Amino acid sequence: MTMRVAVHTLGCKLNYAESSTVAREFARRGYEVVSHTEEADIYVVNTCSVTEHSDKKDRNLIRRLHRRSPEAIIAVIGCYAQLQGEYIASMEGVDIVLGAQSKGLVVDEVERLLSSGRRGKAAAEVTDIDSVQVIYPAFSTGERTRSFLKIQDGCDYKCSYCTVPYARGCSRSLPSDMLVSQAEEIAAAGIREIVLTGVNTGDYGRRTGESFLGLLQRLNDVEGIERYRISSIEPNLLRPEIVDWIASGTKFLPHFHIPLQSGCDTVLRRMGRRYDTGFFRQKIAYIRERMEHVFFGIDVIVGFPGETDRDFEATCDFLREIKPAFIHVFPYSRRSGTPAAVMPDQVPEIVKTHRVQVLEEMSSGFYEAFCRENSGREEEVLFESKSKGGKMFGYTRNYIKVEEPFDKDKIGNIVRVTLP
């Protein structure tokens, strides 16, 4: 009987791309890949560890899977596996734990376990993060409209609050030849849009002699792909020549996800960020001068150690000034081993919760205003391949969500609509 495999993904789109690649390899080797909601003989859990809450979700999922299927093999990969491999290996039901260096071998390790028939206490295969040099190529499939293509992994920035450099290692990039070939494979599957993903996408080419702009230009020439988005890019790496080239008439869309983290320069310095609010303000203005109707998604962390009410109000004022289309709000999470974890003046949880609520309300207002500004415009929408309650959904070039009655002939096609 064919063994069933379910891959569970927690966290970011980079994890999603990696999980999709793992699932394809299982399918290629003859396994039946089933939905993560179904029972399986083998579970792969691709973990996230960006916050304490993420760690808790990882643990709860592993325990829930073991209760559901006590005889199933459980393999754990991802950031939490790298950071807390020994702990995960000690959890009941876990058979395989692979860190950043070895996660691409998860299918091999499962087959090795199956062939040996020996199951007992798991051993964590976790390499010291400073020695990790491999990069696992990955892209997502399974949706007719959009694919997430991993171009880069790791980060050299080491912001004072962040565990990612300790979980994913130094910045390293995939060769542009490989990425162009993968984009061509994605196009051959009928997918029309690619989202470029990585830990620090704008750092692409560090240590390889290639450049981020050079990669964008090569991908722009791939036939069959009509739209590209950049998942997230640091403001200091979104250089003027990149903005100018995108604005010149390319397949790259007027949609930028840029982490701000704080609108207070004092807090930015304690975070170890590589810009101040003046630089960020100029970056947003520069892009708006060269492109119309740009969607800006902005990341903000609230409750960073030492963030006073006055500091938080400075962030609110700055956001009102730059008027993004959306704010991704995160309460600061104290992560062991990071410099921020031992900083004085840790902010109480009740204060963080209040600040999250304030910015989420502000974000809703910004998005509604952005939609009003675009009302009556004719835009191109790529509709998703899912039907929910007789409706289909898609996104404009500048990331406004559009809803229409389900029409299978429009799925996977770019359709011109007038925005309400």
**Is the four-CA dihedral 281, 284, 289, 295 of positive or negative sign?**
negative
Q: Is pLDDT above 80 for 118? A: no
Which residues are within 8 A (CB) of 33 and not within 5 positions of it... i.e. 6 or more apart? Answer: 4, 5, 6, 7, 23, 26, 27
b/e 346-372 (16+ beta carbons within 10 angstroms → b): bbeeeebeebbebbeebbeebbeebee
Q: At what angle do helices 13-28 and 106-116 cross, to 10 degrees?
A: 40
The residue among 309, 310, 235, 302 whose CA lies nearest residue 271 is 302
Query: What is the maximum span of the chain, computed from C-alpha positions, in angstroms?
Result: 64
What are the pLDDT digits (tens) for 261-295?
A: 999 999 999 999 999 999 999 999 999 999 999 99
Distance CA 102, CA 104 (A): 5
* Total length of the chain: 420
pLDDT at 406: 92
pLDDT at 144: 65
Cα atoms found within 13 Å of the Cα of residue 71, Cβ hemisphere only: 5
Strand 378-383 to 391-396 pairing: antiparallel
What are the pLDDT digits (tens) for 174-220?
A: 999 999 999 999 999 999 999 999 999 999 999 999 999 999 999 99
Which residues are within 8 A (CB) of 71 and not within 5 positions of it... i.e. 6 or more apart? Answer: 41
Q: Is pLDDT above 80 for 120? A: no
Neighbours of 189 (CB within 10 A): 12
Cα atoms found within 13 Å of the Cα of residue 410, Cβ hemisphere only: 21
Q: Which helix (H) or strand (E) holds 258?
A: strand 252-261
Does residue 234 or residue 124 have the better pLDDT?
Answer: 234
Q: Is pLDDT above 70 for 72? A: yes
Specify the pTM.
Answer: 0.96
Residue 420 burial (10 A CB sphere; 0-12, 13-18, 19+) = exposed
